[in-house]
Structure 1
Amino acid sequence: MTTYEFVKQFRESDPRKLALQASRYPDVDMPYALNQIQGWQTALRKLPSWAACDGVVYPPHLNMEQCSSEATARYKQQVARRWAERIPNASRTSMTDLTGGFGVDFSFTSRCFDCATYVERNASLCEVVGANLPRLGIRNAQMKCAEAEAVLEQLEPQTMIFLDPARRDEHGAKTVLIADCTPDVCQLLPSLMQKSQFVMLKLSPMLDWHKAIVDLEGTVREVHIVSADGECKELLLVLASDGTPEVQVFCVDIQSRPDSEGQYPRSEFVYSIGGEAEPQPNNSKLKIQNSTFLFEPNASVMKAGCFDEIARAYGICAISRNSHLFLSDREIDGFPGRTFAIDAVTTMNKRQLRQTLSGMKQANIAVRNFPLSVAELRKRLKLNDGGDTYIFATTTSDGDHILMLTHKTKK
């Protein structure tokens, strides 16, 4: 049995168990085979269209875990296409990915351009990606194994330049500041803007995007805060020198698995930076008494901090300035987050708690701007985790500590 045959036959098996059977397959390059099996299993979850493509070669485990998911890569593809189509009189479009990595983002964004260049300083990754791209149907690409800075210096003008700077220092520790990443985008900024119509920059979701706008000296035109299944995954900035002062912020939450039509459904809330949002009313007691639905924004909205914009856009009221929960007397289609129907509201008064929670054995608990942790509150309420009831513990603008007992709506 060849190594290729072994991988194809056992790719759904547990690599740890296969490792114990290595002596039974003397002709198989077992370390390579196990890495390919593990890579395929990761791709099945993270890159389903790649897993469905026969012959794709997978890199070491760390590269697989760090690469973009198909859901977020397809989103970048849509952003790149929209911007490329805005370029006037573009007879032939081009892009260069200066930090190609495993090539997931490149494989999708490159399809939006007539020609594309993949740049990566790691020779082994270049070899893997060079073998994979034709298998994935990418035939407009050229490969360069080189440092990003050296390629940029010699680069002809491009429609788009893409960068995903390495976010680990020489000791392997994570970094989140732009200036601490490799390459340093701030240092390269003049060349990047001179040699491209627009730049797409992928950064850590931990980064302070307000500071990034300042650090990038007014070149940021769009900020995309991208989440998948409620977890913030990446920050995507689009840079251009078109003189537009306005910055649009896109709060996006994508479903990580494709639907029956192969699409990745998403919710999206878009707003522009500029001006102060009107403050929301502070009569918490009146709002709670008249409300039947509670709204919890998704991770991208939470990262953006656009709570006044959300309240204005959907006609909902904040429970308090720091709770980041919203109320309404009606259900709202398309809200970027979760919606709950309110069943009961109680203070922390022992008698009232006893009456409200009578007969309840379990609940899902979340705290927002509340003096107790989830563990402390669960212990005090003597409730197990789980069930259909969701309890939100929060503080009103009047300073009252309350529990809101809710259940998820179908929307």
Structure 2
Amino acid sequence: LSPNLLEIEEKLHSIADKIIVKLSPLIDISYLISELKNITEIQIIAVRNEVKELLLIINKSDASCELQDVSIRCINLESDEPEFLFKFNDEKSAKSEFSESLKFLYIPNNSILKAGAFNIISEKFGLKKLHPNTHFYTSENKIENFPGRVLKIEKIDAKDLKKGEKYNLISKNYPLKPEEIKKKYKLNDGGNHYLIFTQSVNGKEILRSL
């Protein structure tokens, strides 16, 4: 941290009980919570799905604040997506259920991913997670007000792909990167559909948006 908040925190509190600090999005949230006292909330601010900054709210008057009381607020500005608010320790206790891909695929926005809300997002929205290392979620029926992209999907086989087809490619927890996928299957960028190469608990999957 620069300036070093650990060194100047007490001095800042001599000026005001409540402090708001703007930080780089690269800083580890767990580190902040473990090192700084009296954090009441961390806001993760994204703009059009690009995480821009963290806002740290420290309140000396809330001396009872403990690890489990820290609120994490995920915000994606210039989008129609709702904020997502959770308690830091709720993520640790939350459990995800796993499933192969169903009719709908949910891709959390990057403020959610920066927050590390991998299980609590699944629990709060009643979604199944594809795989422990794939932060995609799925359901049979569409869930509204999800803070991210929601796609109606179908599973396809690689042999169904045709040379020159246009797709918006996504690769997550899959051996090949988008550029390698394009080259292998002779695909082009663009079009109105997403093509997702990923992995569920049942193995590798190729999903196409409808």
1:49 paired residue number: none
2:54 paired residue number: 235
Q: Residues of 1 paired with 2:71 and 2:96: CA distance?
A: 22
Gaps of 5+ in 2: none
Letter in 1 for 2:192: D
Within the alignment, does 1:330 sit opposite 2:141 as a pair? yes
Q: 2:41 aligns with which of 205, 217, 222?
A: 222
* Structure number with larger C-alpha Rg: 1
Offset at 1:304?
A: 0.7
* CA shift digits 1:88-122 (9 cap, x unpaired): xxxxxxxxxxxxxxxxxxxxxxxxxxxxxxxxxxx
1:131 paired residue number: none
Relative to its length, the structure with more strand (as a share) is 2
Alignment of 1:124-273 (within 5 A): 178=1, 181=2, 183-216=3-36, 218-241=37-60, 242=62, 243-245=64-66, 246-255=69-78, 267-273=82-88
Q: Residues of 1 paired with 2:125 and 2:195: CA distance?
A: 23
Q: Residues of 1 paired with 2:201 and 2:81: CA distance?
A: 32
Q: Residues of 2 paired with 1:314 and 1:238: CA distance?
A: 27
* CA shift digits 1:68-107 (9 cap, x unpaired): xxxxxxxxxxxxxxxxxxxxxxxxxxxxxxxxxxxxxxxx
Q: Residues of 1 paired with 2:19 and 2:209: CA distance?
A: 44
1:345 paired residue number: 155
SS at match of 2:10: helix
Q: Residues of 2 paired with 1:247 and 1:278: CA distance?
A: 16
Q: Residues of 2 paired with 1:353 and 1:306: CA distance?
A: 32
Offset at 1:184?
A: 2.2
Alignment of 1:334-373 (within 5 A): 334-342=145-153, 344-346=154-156, 352-354=157-159, 356-358=160-162, 361-373=165-177
Within the alignment, does 1:385 sit opposite 2:189 as a pair? yes
Letter in 2 for 1:200: I
Letter in 2 for 1:195: I
1:277 paired residue number: 93
Alignment of 1:84-103 (within 5 A): none
**Are the aligned partners of 1:227 and 1:234 in contact in 2 as well (CA < 8 Å)?**
yes
Offset at 1:274?
A: 2.0
SS at match of 1:191: helix
Report the aligned-residue RMSD: 1.7
Normalising by structure 1, we get a TM-score of 0.48
Give the % identical residues.
29
Offset at 1:281?
A: 2.6
Gaps of 5+ in 1: 1-177, 257-264, 347-351
Letter in 1 for 2:107: E
* CA shift digits 1:125-177 (9 cap, x unpaired): xxxxxxxxxxxxxxxxxxxxxxxxxxxxxxxxxxxxxxxxxxxxxxxxxxxxx
Alignment of 1:42-81 (within 5 A): none
SS at match of 1:375: helix
1:156 paired residue number: none
SS at match of 2:113: helix
* Greater RCO structure (CA 8 Å; 6+ sep): 2
* CA shift digits 1:281-308 (9 cap, x unpaired): 33x34xx2xx211000001001011011
Letter in 1 for 2:65: T
Q: 1:397 aligns with which of 165, 184, 201?
A: 201
Offset at 1:360?
A: 6.4
SS at match of 2:191: coil
Offset at 1:195?
A: 2.3
SS at match of 1:307: coil
**Are the aligned partners of 1:378 and 1:384 in contact in 2 as well (CA < 8 Å)?**
yes
**Are the aligned partners of 2:95 and 2:120 in contact in 1 as well (CA < 8 Å)?**
no
Letter in 2 for 1:197: D
Relative to its length, the structure with more helix (as a share) is 1
Offset at 1:357?
A: 2.1
